[in-house]
Amino acid sequence: MPARRSPWMDQELDDLRDLARTFCEKEIKPNIETFIADKQVDRQLWNKAGEMGLLCISIPEEYGGGGGTFAHEAVIIEEQAAVGDSSWGASLHSGIVAHYLLEYGTEEQKLEWLPKMASGEAVGAIAMTEPGTGSDLQSVKTKAIRQGDEYVINGSKTFITNGAQADVVLVVAKTNPEEAASGISLIIVPTSAPGFSRGRVLDKIGMKGQDTAELFFEDVRVPVANLLGTEEGQGFIQLMQQLPQERLIVAVSNVAAMELMLDETLRYVHDRTAFGRPIWGFQNTKFKLAEVATEARVARSFVDECVGLHVEGKLDIPTVAMAKLWCSERAQKVADICLQLHGGYGYMNEYPIARAWADLRVSQIYAGTSEIMKEIISRSLPAPS
């Protein structure tokens, strides 16, 4: 739990935090090692979360969701991070995929998929990255060519969160291969569609329990009605409009991870002795943890501001880019300090700090690299008058 109560919290969110904490402590924390060994969470975890009302909590009740706001999602993200888990892709499922469907889907698409996602019956993923295309989404090679009343999809995707368990994938594809941004569309693809296949679950440095997978599309046919939106060529705009929430999700999880690392390290340095006294007794330890506490507090304050602005619909793209940049970079700095204070034990996977150190590195890459964040921020800077 955050060291102080965030200003956007209220009694309803306090109650949700208690529920989410209980769920994470019972269903996730004892199973983290199993998730890592299996390279994915237990499929039943999704169903249990759905039964508890912890999936798609910011989706309107008419579509099976909880009728909440991003603040509700943030509470769940924080409590998952607080038990040291990076395996469960619920924040992408609920905070990203479901919102693409909510914002751009037809009524039929919403009614078909959102209730299933809210119950845990269907797991969602979004397929952007390709083997040769990362941040440059305009250059995707996957094609969705219309033939009569169907799209025929061919291509491959990689680094897809929830890829191994997904029941529905939003596929970023070129419906007009001759165009760049204006040729991109998002297509809803059920993973039961003939021609769809999954590759390996990728072996990553960190986040080893998350089913990050390769996906392949070989003459996959879906109805034209599976186009997300009212017309072709809107995909790039949809991506740009939704990426800020994805970046805020990263920032929220980074701050919660910083607070967890601080707590874990404080516990360790008070219990561990060196040269006849607790490690806490050395000035270097106190000074380093003073830095960590300050980094976490500053990041928490900034993210709290961003969450409040986002709930009000006032969070702009440069500001959330700043939050994502700052929190991902600072979380890695905190992880380095905390691992160092653990000494040799910090390098052992049995200690939460080791997993956190490895897990956090990707935060500077996914949802837009740090370099992309700097580019976005720089565009907002005024020229001298």
Percentage of the chain lying above the pLDDT 90 cut: 95
Quick one: pLDDT at residue 134?
74
Question: What average pLDDT does range 209-231 have in this prediction?
Answer: 97
Query: Six-digit token pair at 28?
Result: 């996730």
CATH 1.20.140.10 domain locations along the chain: 237-379
Taking CA atoms, 299 is separated from 251, 305, 374, in Å, by: 9, 10, 17
User: What is the residue type of 139?
Assistant: S
Query: Is the confidence at residue 2, as pLDDT, over 60?
Result: no
Query: Six-digit token pair at 200?
Result: 């390996």
Query: Six-digit token pair at 90?
Result: 């619920």
Query: Is the confidence at residue 123, as pLDDT, over 80?
Result: yes
Is-contact 237 104, C-beta < 8 A? Answer: no
Pairing of strands 168-174, 124-127: parallel
Q: How far apart are CA 106 and CA 121, in angstroms?
A: 20
Has 371 been annotated as catalytic? no
Q: How far apart are CA 118 and CA 47, in angstroms?
A: 9
User: What pTM does this model have?
Assistant: 0.95
Q: Which CATH superfamily is domain 237-379 in?
A: Butyryl-CoA Dehydrogenase, subunit A, domain 3 (1.20.140.10)
pLDDT tens-place string over residues 339-385:
999 999 999 998 999 999 999 999 999 999 999 999 999 999 998 88
Nearest C-alpha neighbor of 188 from the set 220, 212, 211: 220
pLDDT tens-place string over residues 159-173:
999 999 999 999 999
The CATH label, of 3.40.50.970, 3.30.530.20, 3.40.50.720, 2.40.110.10, for the domain at 125-232 is 2.40.110.10
Pairing of strands 150-160, 143-147: antiparallel
Q: 88-102, 125-139, 166-180, 242-256: lowest mean pLDDT where?
A: 125-139
Query: Is the confidence at residue 79, as pLDDT, over 80?
Result: yes
Nearest C-alpha neighbor of 81 from the set 266, 323, 287, 262: 262
Quick one: pLDDT at residue 39?
97
Question: What average pLDDT does range 35-62 have in this prediction?
Answer: 98
Question: What average pLDDT does range 118-142 have in this prediction?
Answer: 92
pLDDT tens-place string over residues 168-193:
999 999 999 999 999 999 999 999 99
Is-contact 327 250, C-beta < 8 A? Answer: yes
Q: Assign 248 a pLDDT band (cuts: 50, 70, 90).
A: very high
CATH 2.40.110.10 domain locations along the chain: 125-232
Q: Assign 328 a pLDDT band (cuts: 50, 70, 90).
A: very high
Query: Is the confidence at residue 151, as pLDDT, over 70?
Result: yes
Choose, from 112, 232, 246, 295, the residue flagged as catalytic: 246
Query: Six-digit token pair at 258?
Result: 């910083």
Taking CA atoms, 383 is separated from 114, 226, 318, 322, 380, in Å, by: 44, 44, 16, 19, 9
CATH 1.10.540.10 domain locations along the chain: 11-122
What single-letter DSSP state applies at residue 94?
A: I
Quick one: pLDDT at residue 21?
97
Nearest C-alpha neighbor of 292 from the set 276, 269, 274: 269
Quick one: pLDDT at residue 102?
98
Q: Assign 1 a pLDDT band (cuts: 50, 70, 90).
A: very low
Quick one: pLDDT at residue 132?
85
Query: Is the confidence at residue 42, as pLDDT, over 70?
Result: yes
Is-contact 5 259, C-beta < 8 A? Answer: no
CATH architecture observed for domain 11-122: Orthogonal Bundle (1.10)
Query: Is the confidence at residue 4, as pLDDT, over 80?
Result: no
